Amino acid sequence: MCYPTQNTNSSLRSHERAKNTTGYIPTWRPSRLGNQRHDLERERVLHEIDRRHGRWNNKHPRWSVLEALHGYDRYRDIAGAEIDRFESLYKHILESTISYNRNFDIARSLLDKNTVLTKAIVEKALVYYDMSRSELDDFVKDFEAQEPKQKENKLKMLRTHTSHALKHVVRDWSIDGHAEREATFPYILDAVARHLDEEQDHPGDYNVLVPGAGLGRLAHEIALLDSDRVSVTTNEKDDFMNLAYRYITSTSRPHNLHPFLESWSHARTRQDITRSVNITTPITPSLDTLLVPGDFTLLFPHSENTYSAIATLFFIDTARNLLAYLTKIHSLLRPGGIWINAGPLLYGSAPFVQLTLEEVIAVAEEVGFVVERREEREVVYNFNGTVLYRNGYVAEFWVGRKKGGDGEDGALKRRGKRWLGW
pLDDT values of the chain reduced to their tens digit, one per residue, 422 residues: 333 333 333 333 333 333 333 333 333 344 443 478 999 999 999 999 999 999 999 999 999 999 999 999 999 999 988 777 767 666 555 555 656 778 888 999 999 999 999 999 999 999 999 999 999 999 999 999 999 999 999 999 999 999 999 999 999 999 999 989 999 999 999 999 999 999 887 767 899 999 999 999 999 999 999 988 999 999 999 999 999 999 999 999 999 999 998 888 888 888 888 999 999 988 888 888 999 999 999 999 989 999 999 999 999 999 999 999 999 999 999 999 999 999 999 998 889 999 999 999 999 999 999 999 999 998 887 667 777 777 888 999 999 999 986 544 444 443 434 343 44
Q: Is residue 213 part of a domain?
A: yes
Has residue 360 been placed in a domain? yes
The sheet carrying 206-211 orders its strands as 289-293, 230-236, 206-211, 307-313, 333-343, 392-402, 369-380
What was the pLDDT predicted at 100?
Answer: 73
How far apart are the C-alpha atoms of 91 and 111, rounded to whole Å? 20
Return d(Cα 157, Cα 151) in angstroms, integer: 10
Find residue 371's DSSP bridge partners.
Answer: 400
Domain membership of residue 11 (yes or no) is no
Asked whether residue 4 is domain-assigned, the answer is no
Q: Specify the CATH number for the domain of residue 378.
A: 3.40.50.150
Give the domain extent around 99: 32-417
Which pLDDT score, from 0 to 100, does residue 29 have? 42
Give the number of other Cβ atoms within 10 Å of residue 354's Cβ.
Answer: 10
* CA 385/CA 99 separation, integer angstroms: 26
How far, in Å, CA of 55 to CA of 83, rounded? Answer: 37
User: Please, are residues 329 and 361 in contact by the beta-carbon 8 Å criterion?
Assistant: no
Answer yes or no: is 5 within a domain: no
- Can you say whether the dihedral through the CA atoms of 121, 68, 276, 177 is positive or negative? negative
- For residue 246, which amino acid is it? R
Q: What pLDDT, on a 0 to 100 scale, did the predictor assign at position 148?
A: 92
Q: How far apart are the first and last CA of the chain?
A: 29
pTM of the model: 0.85
Number of domains in the chain: 1
Please indicate, yes or no, if residue 7 is contained in any of the structural domains: no
pLDDT value at residue 70: 98
In this structure, the number of other CB atoms found within 10 A of the CB of residue 95 comes to 12
pLDDT at 11: 34
Distance of CA 130 to the CA centre of its chain: 21
pLDDT at 347: 93
